[in-house]
């Protein structure tokens, strides 16, 4: 880790320690079961500024830390633990991302609300999983409450609100 990151990390950890935990509760659902709009907390926006994470920045992430490098993965509605494969802002590769998965709509929706760097405490963030060419579209054999995807990797995009 660079000296600059090492000096910045304690400030971010302290800031996160005094913040309320970001929750995924209370998200409205659209008619197809996918999540509706949701604002990022002010604390997450502040922490992302300190972490040098700007809206639109992206890095590859393993969608499910339990299915790394799988050709096909099955995701379930509910909580998810993912892992960065590349640095994102000052978050290093192998940082864990914690969030929520929705599988009811035509495409899987993953929103990440927290990051846990390998050498620090969890901090609030706002990021979404994105892939082009309909690669987040669940396969037809997916059962209700699940989504089967070809591949285990997507891009984690930094956002300032969920749409």
pLDDT attached to residue 2: 57
pLDDT attached to residue 163: 92
The two tokens of residue 7 are 């000096």
- Is pTM beyond 0.85? Reply is no
Counting as low any pLDDT under 70, the low residues of the chain are 1-25
Task: Classify domain 3-162 at the CATH class level.
Answer: mainly beta
C-alpha span between 74 and 83 (Å, rounded): 16
pLDDT attached to residue 22: 37
Give first-to-last CA distance, the chain, whole Å.
34
- Contact indicator for 119, 47 with CB cutoff of 8 Å: no
pLDDT attached to residue 17: 39
Q: If you search the block for the tokens 């309320």, which residue do you land on?
A: 20
- Work out the burial of residue 49: count CB atoms within 10 Å of its CB; fewer than 13 is exposed, 13-18 middle, 19 or more buried: exposed
pLDDT attached to residue 5: 53
Residues 6+ apart with CB under 8 A from 34: 102, 104, 105, 107, 109
The two tokens of residue 161 are 């609100």
pLDDT attached to residue 3: 54
Per domain, the residue ranges of the chain are 3-162
The two tokens of residue 51 are 């972490």
């Amino acid at each position: 880790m660079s000296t600059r990151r090492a000096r910045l990390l304690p400030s971010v950890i302290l800031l996160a320690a005094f913040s309320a935990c970001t929750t995924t509760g209370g998200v409205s659902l659209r008619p197809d079961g996918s999540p509706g709009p949701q604002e990022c907390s002010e604390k997450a926006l502040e922490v992302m500024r300190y972490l040098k994470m700007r809206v639109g920045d992206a890095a590859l992430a393993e969608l499910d830390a339990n299915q790394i490098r799988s050709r096909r993965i099955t995701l379930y509605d509910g909580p998810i633990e993912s892992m960065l494969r590349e640095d994102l802002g000052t978050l290093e590769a192998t940082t864990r991302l914690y969030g929520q998965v929705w599988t009811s709509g035509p495409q899987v929706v993953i929103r990440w609300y927290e990051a846990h760097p390998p050498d620090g405490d969890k901090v609030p963030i706002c990021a979404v999983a994105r892939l082009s060419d309909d690669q987040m579209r669940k396969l037809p054999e997916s059962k209700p409450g699940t989504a089967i995807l070809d591949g285990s990797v997507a891009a984690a995009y930094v956002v300032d609100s969920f749409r």
